[in-house]
Amino acid sequence: MRRLSSLLCVACLGLPLAASAEPAALDQVLSDAVESYRQGLDTERRDPRLEEFRRSQRLFASAVERGVESAELYTNLGNAALQAEDLGGAVLAYRRALRLDADHARALQNLEHARSLLPGWVPRPQAAGLLDSLFFWHRRVPVPARELAAAAAFAGMALLVAAGIRWRQSALRNAAVLPGLAWVLLLGSVVLDPGGTGADEAVVTVPEAVARAADSKLAPSAFPHPLPGGVELRILEHREPWLRVRLANGRDAWLQQSSVTRIEREG
């Protein structure tokens, strides 16, 4: 197994969290989490080692539950979960870290490693392609904001073209190229972005989840094998207690709601 990017020291973790209502108590939680992680690294026997990593994972998670959120904290939570053999929890934590900082190097590296641990038949999200290369900002800006900006750019382009025609000024018509280009980029970002704002993206966070062809326990399995923890998917429809989901390869299936966790935290 490749070595994970190392955890930050407790002092580095504590600095951006000073706004907490109980900074001293929070610092102790983070210190205990890092210490348990280090104890796990130093423990050779499997069961005691896993218990230390699970304790570290619980402590990092408790810091999040106190209202503290940062890409560093989620990355450390993901590292502890991965060492505790909780692949679903690890992928979820890394994805949440990247929701806060899309360029976080450790989260990107460790998410790639976590994905590599999934069975070979499991579809994985594609690496950044043309859309992400050209529209590197598109996942950081909510869709409604992009739609509003696209409308404003189109209006600006139309006004410049109309003014250029009305007063026969080629300079105004030429100036319309810039808002026109902005409109095309923003429109493409909205139309071609399959993930939207990310609010409907989720991760399987149970060890195994049987995907069904319909929203019923009696429906046949959608795939030959259950989906393992760590599978990333997109929620398309909600029929309590079922979710219709789409995997990275475009295949749809139904999962029980309790088997997945949304990347965007509620509340």
Q: For 242-263, how does the pLDDT look when each residue is reduced to its tens digit (9 = 90+)?
A: 999 999 999 999 999 999 999 9
- pLDDT at position 198: 54
Q: What pLDDT digit, counting tens, does each position of 142-162 carry?
A: 667 888 988 999 999 999 999
What is the pTM assigned to this prediction?
A: 0.74
- pLDDT at position 2: 47
- pLDDT at position 68: 86
User: pLDDT confidence of 195, banded at 50, 70, 90?
Assistant: very low
Residues 69-89 have a mean pLDDT of: 97
| Helix axes 46-65 and 71-83, enclosed angle (nearest 10) | 160
Top-level class of domain 201-262 = mainly beta
CATH number of 10-116: 1.25.40.10
Q: Is 185 exposed, middle or buried (0-12, 13-18, 19+ CB in 10 A)?
A: middle
Q: What pLDDT digit, counting tens, does each position of 213-231 carry?
A: 999 999 999 999 999 999 9
Domain ranges of the chain: 10-116, 143-192, 201-262
Q: What pLDDT digit, counting tens, does each position of 27-44 carry?
A: 999 999 999 999 999 999
CA dist 44 and 24 (Å) reads: 32
